Amino acid sequence: MATPNPTELNTTKRHAPPKPGTRPSVRADATVCDDFAVIMSAGGTASDAIRTAVAMLADMYRTGWAHGVCPPGTAPRLLAYQLQQCPTTTPALTSGRAVVSDSGTAPRPVSLRLPRPPVGQRFSA
């Protein structure tokens, strides 16, 4: 009889985080490799990408727990994110409605931004 994998036996127990100085590993399938390529295209190494991703996810968990969005020890569900606008040389995307009208007047800009929710408002899924 084959010996079962010990990690499969402890599905209800929380796993201990890796110790400092160790090298945790993850199996990289085609999707993970594609994701690494996207992240690393902005500069940095695979290790930099992993450190940044883990730090961002941990910060999201801490924030969710601190603000009572979800109970401590459970994974919050990300519904949206906001990016800082960076100067770019590419033209901004516009909707199909931002065209010259028959009236000869200049088109009005179409705002694609949604209003921000009131401070402290919580969303439920």
Look over the chain and give the mean of its residue pLDDT values, rounded to a whole number: 76
Where residue 125 falls among pLDDT bands split at 50, 70, 90?
very low
Q: Spell out a b/e string for 60-95, using b for 16 or more CB atoms within 10 Å of the CB, else e.
A: bbeebeeeebeeeeeebeeeeeeeeeeeeeeeeeee
What is the share, in percent, of the chain residues with pLDDT greater than 90?
Answer: 42
111: pLDDT strictly greater than 50: no
